[in-house]
Chain A
């Protein structure tokens, strides 16, 4: 039950406020979904905000926003702000989910059924 339960819960809300620089949502309207895959484009640099460095380390291979939140123990809303910052600085790239307008799409559904049948 310890997944993602590191640290922040018992701190005051101010701590999260500090991490995001006082913002409660991304500054640019970058649509980041829970299942947007994040991939680091660079390694963490010395002196970087620890949370940003942690995200870059986690995302050496593609990882969803939800997984980043779980592994860092930060709320999804905070991770979204941080990933947007990294995106603005070209330090990560993101692979968005299949857009809702294309759902449900027959070929996609078929692929999922095929995949599930192998379970």
Chain B
């Protein structure tokens, strides 16, 4: 496989990535979206460690008729979950997991949604349909989310209101425009999610 020879295999965290023994508990936030929508970019922009990847093997039976570039013809492929880490303080660690938005992949990540604080649904305005699966399943799982629109240069510019209509998004779910390549933008998306969660906690009936 092409990625096997690219660089030395990691044997463990770099010295600067070792968590202190005070690290007591963790929370997770999901970054969901279709291929190439900026999940990995977002995770990498805010992570304190170089983003890591875990892979699960998907056999032919699990592959539907789809549009995944580059995996056609394989009898077995791997689906990757990219993730990063932010130490909130000496005790609390936040993990950010980027995961494919297509519902058919989600069985791979048993437990990914359970206990998730919330999610960021990354929307590519040129391919809105990919976001529907993701939002549907998050709603089903009771994971609150905000929508973030990565400002792709070639994507049509939509007003937030039009986008809300197109996505059939309730009024209270925030839409955030950002550039996944900018660290401050990514941080602000996460803060927007947290503020939204905070508002839900203050008024539980809104969820």
* A interface residue numbers (CB < 8 A to B): 1-6, 9-10, 13, 33-37, 39, 57-58, 61-64, 66-67, 69-71, 73, 75-77, 95-100, 103-106, 108-117, 119
Contact = CB atoms under 8 A, between A and B. Distances in A.
A4 B53 contact: yes
B26 A75 contact: no
A62 B117 CA distance: 21
17 contacts: A1-B2, A2-B4, A4-B52, A4-B54, A34-B97, A34-B111, A36-B26, A62-B19, A64-B93, A67-B13, A70-B83, A95-B25, A106-B201, A109-B117, A113-B191, A113-B198, A115-B86
A6 B10 CA distance: 9
Interface in B10-63: 10-13, 18-21, 23-28, 46, 50-57
Interface of B: 1-4, 6-13, 18-21, 23-28, 46, 50-57, 78, 81, 83, 85-89, 92-95, 97, 109-112, 114-115, 117-118, 144, 183, 187, 190-191, 194-195, 197-198, 200-202
Given A75-B54, A119-B86, 12 more contacts: A3-B51, A4-B52, A33-B115, A35-B26, A35-B28, A62-B20, A71-B13, A75-B56, A95-B25, A104-B118, A105-B201, A119-B187
Secondary structure class of chain B's binding surface, majority of residues: mixed
A115 B94 contact: yes
A103 B113 CA distance: 13
A51 B117 CA distance: 31
A95 B89 contact: no
